Structure 1
Amino acid sequence: MRNLFAFIYRFRAFLVFVLLEALCIYLIVQYNTYQGAAFFNSANRYVGRVLEFQSGVTDYFNLATVNSTLAQENALLREEVLKYRQANLTDSISQMDTTLLVATDSATVHPFSLHAGRVINNSVRRNNNYLTLSIGTEDGVEPGMGVIAPNGVVGRVKTVSAKYSTVTSLLHSQMLISAKIKKNNTMGTIKWLGGDYRTAILDYIPLHVQMSKGDTVVTSGYNTVFPEGIVVGTISSIVREADKSFYTVKVKLAVDFAQLTYVYVVENKQKAERDSLELNAGILPNE
């Protein structure tokens, strides 16, 4: 306290000067319209800049929460798209019975739901690549579920813990996906042969099939993992080899696996029933 009084006494003249200057500024601003308006406009501008900077800093540290919320909202929107697509497929099959859609259970019309998750580990340079997601059994994720990104197919859930899950990437030597050429519904199998992480092979396309570069390849819907019509990629090259009965078709994958941030795990509410039925019938599942 003694030091404080000593400081005030030492700089008493300067402190009185500052106090009088402040009082003068207050009186000028308070009792002069022009100076008051100029002062408050300037003050508002600088205060606005400070608040804007503060808001920017706060928003930066809240980005993880914002992104997670947006991913959840996108998952709901994509569910609606899948529901609309599934309803159209069902409607096209049941054109002769207009009451069928009304009498059909909602899980039958739309068996798929999506769970948004953040990618916390990923590889693209190995022969067998995997991803790790920040969601697990507590979020409804189970082994065998499909995984998609906003622009295409990603892979399949391999193992799950309470809060995390690992995914066998499409960029895996043992990963096969049942697919078809969208314009003519010709069935094939997508397989990654290594090397370029943006290119895969579409196998088993017969030589009589008409196709061209740029044609879209989508999931076939012949399994319980992926809904029908999810984009896999576009045809980038077609080669007819003399010693083979099928084309060698290269597909440019729609997903850039090196830049994955958020993905969606696909839950099929009818998977257990269908898998059990096909297993009992001795039918091998489509990849």
Structure 2
Amino acid sequence: MRNLFAFIYRFRAFLVFVLLEALCVYLLVRYNTYQGAAFFNSANKYVGQVLEFQSGITDYFRLTSINQTLAKENANLRQELMRQRLLALADSTASLDSTYYAATDSSQANPYLLHAGRVINNSVRRMNNYLTIAAGTADGVKPGMGVVSPQGVVGRVKTVSENYATVTSLLHSQMLISAKIRASDTFGTIKWTGGDYRTVLLDYIPLHIKPVKGDTIVTSGFNTVFPEGIMVGTISSIEQEPDKSFYTIKVKLAVDFAQLSYVYVVENTKEEERETLEQNAGIITDEQ
């Protein structure tokens, strides 16, 4: 306290000068219209810049929560889009024979739910690649569920903890996906044989089919993991080998696995019912 008083006493003349200057500025701004307007306009400008800078910093540190919110909203929108696609398929089937379908038929209900998850680990250079996502049992994720991105098929959930899950990537030597050529509805099997992480093979397309380079490949819907019509990729090359009864077709994947950030886990609410029925009937499905 003594030092403070000593400081004030030592610089008393300067402090009085500063106080008088501040008083003069106040009186000038307070009682002169032009100076007051100029002062407040300038003050508003600089205060606005400071607030904008502060808001930018705050928003930067909130990006994670904002992205999670947007991912959940996108999941709801994609879920609704999926429902509309299934309704359209049901309507087109119903138009073929109205005897088998009614407007309230349960086949038109959407059995699929989507759960958003952030990718926190990923590999693309190995023979058997996996992802780790920040979504687990607390979010409704279970082993065996399909995983998609906004661009297309990603893989299938392998193991799950409360807040995390590992995903067997489509870039895995044991991962098989039932898919079809959308133009002809001819189905085959997608598999990855290593090498280029943007290219997979489409097997079991018979020679009487005439696929074309650029044809779109989508999921077939022949399993309980992925809904019908989810994008896989486009045909990049077609070979007809003399000793084979099927084409050798290469497909360029729609998903760039090196750029994955958010994915959606697909929950089929009717999966258990269908799998139980097929198991009781002795039907074994190797494709995912």
Q: Report the TM-score, using the length of structure 1 for normalisation.
A: 0.96
Which residues of structure 1 form unaligned runs of 5+? none
Matches within 5 A, 1:112-191: 112-191=112-191
- Map Cα deviations across residues 167-222 of structure 1 (whole Å, 9 max, x no partner): 10000000000001111111111111111111111111122222222111000000
- Deviation above 2 Å: which 4+ runs of structure 1? 95-105
Cα distance, 1:100–1:207 mapped onto 2, change above 3 Å:
closer
Identity of aligned residues (%): 71
| Distance in 2 of aligned mates of 1:39 and 1:228 | 65
SS at match of 2:120: strand
**Aligned AA for 2:248?**
T
| 8 A contact 1:203–1:247 mirrored in 2 | yes
One-letter code of the match for 1:61? F
How far the C-alpha of 1:92 sits from its partner, in A, is 1.6
Q: Which residue number corresponds to residue 27 of structure 2?
A: 27
The answer to whether the Cα contact below 8 Å between 2:190 and 2:200 also exists between their aligned partners in 1 is: yes
Name 1:104's counterpart in structure 2: 105
- Matches for 1:29-48 after TM superposition, within 5 Å: 29-48=29-48
What RMSD in Å do the two structures reach over aligned CA positions? 1.5
Q: What amino acid is the match of 2:265?
A: V
1:73-94 CA-partner distances (Å, limit 9, x unpaired): 0000001001001111111222
- Give the 3-state SS of the residue equivalent to 1:94 in structure 2: helix
Aligned 8 A contact 2:86 2:108 in 1: no
User: Is residue 80 from structure 1 mapped to residue 80 from structure 2 by the alignment?
Assistant: yes
Quick one: which amino acid aligns to residue 132 of structure 1? T
Distance change >3 Å, CA 6–CA 218, structure 1 → 2: same
Is contact 1:155-1:170 (8 Å) kept?
yes
Q: State the partner residue of 1:53.
A: 53
Taking the aligned partners of 2:99 and 2:14, their CA distance within structure 1 comes to 90
Kept after mapping to 2: 8 A contact 1:155/1:168: yes
Cα distance in 2 between the residues matched to 1:126 and 1:54: 44
Task: Give distance in 2, aligned partners of 1:131 and 1:270.
Answer: 26
CA contact (8 A) 1:219 1:226 kept: yes
CA distance in 2, matches of 1:234, 1:139: 32
User: Following the alignment from structure 1 to structure 2, what is the Cα–Cα distance between the partners of residues 177 and 221?
Assistant: 10
Which consecutive unaligned segments of at least 5 residues does structure 2 have?
none
| Structure 1 Cα separation of the partners of residues 276 and 25 of structure 2 | 84
Structure 1 pair 101/4, CA: closer, same or farther in 2 (3 Å)? farther
Number of residue pairs the alignment of both structures matches: 286
Shift of 1:108: 5.7
Partner of 1:27: helix, strand, or coil? helix
For the structure 1 residues 246 and 148, does the alpha-carbon distance in structure 2 shift closer, same or farther, using more than 3 Å as the test? same
Displacement, 1:242? Answer: 2.1
Amino acid at match of 1:97: S
Cα 1:98/1:18, change in 2 over 3 Å: farther
In terms of mean alpha carbon deviation, does 228-237 or 276-285 score higher? 276-285
Could you tell which deviates more after superposition, 152-161 or 88-97? 88-97
Aligned counterparts of 2:202 and 2:223: Cα–Cα separation in 1: 17
1:117 partner amino acid: G
Residue 252 in structure 1 maps to residue 246 in structure 2: no
CA distance in 2, matches of 1:259, 1:98: 47
TM-score (norm 2): 0.96
- 1:71 alignment counterpart: 71
Alignment partners' CA distance in 2, 1:99 and 1:33: 82
* Residues 235 and 99 of structure 1: CA distance in aligned 2, closer, same or farther (over 3 Å): closer
Q: Does 1:13 align with 2:1?
A: no
Instruction: Describe the SS at the equivalent of 1:147.
Output: strand
**2:88 aligned counterpart, secondary structure:** helix
SS in 1 for 2:70: helix
Q: Hey, what's the Cα distance between the residues in 1 that align with 2:183 and 2:86? A: 18
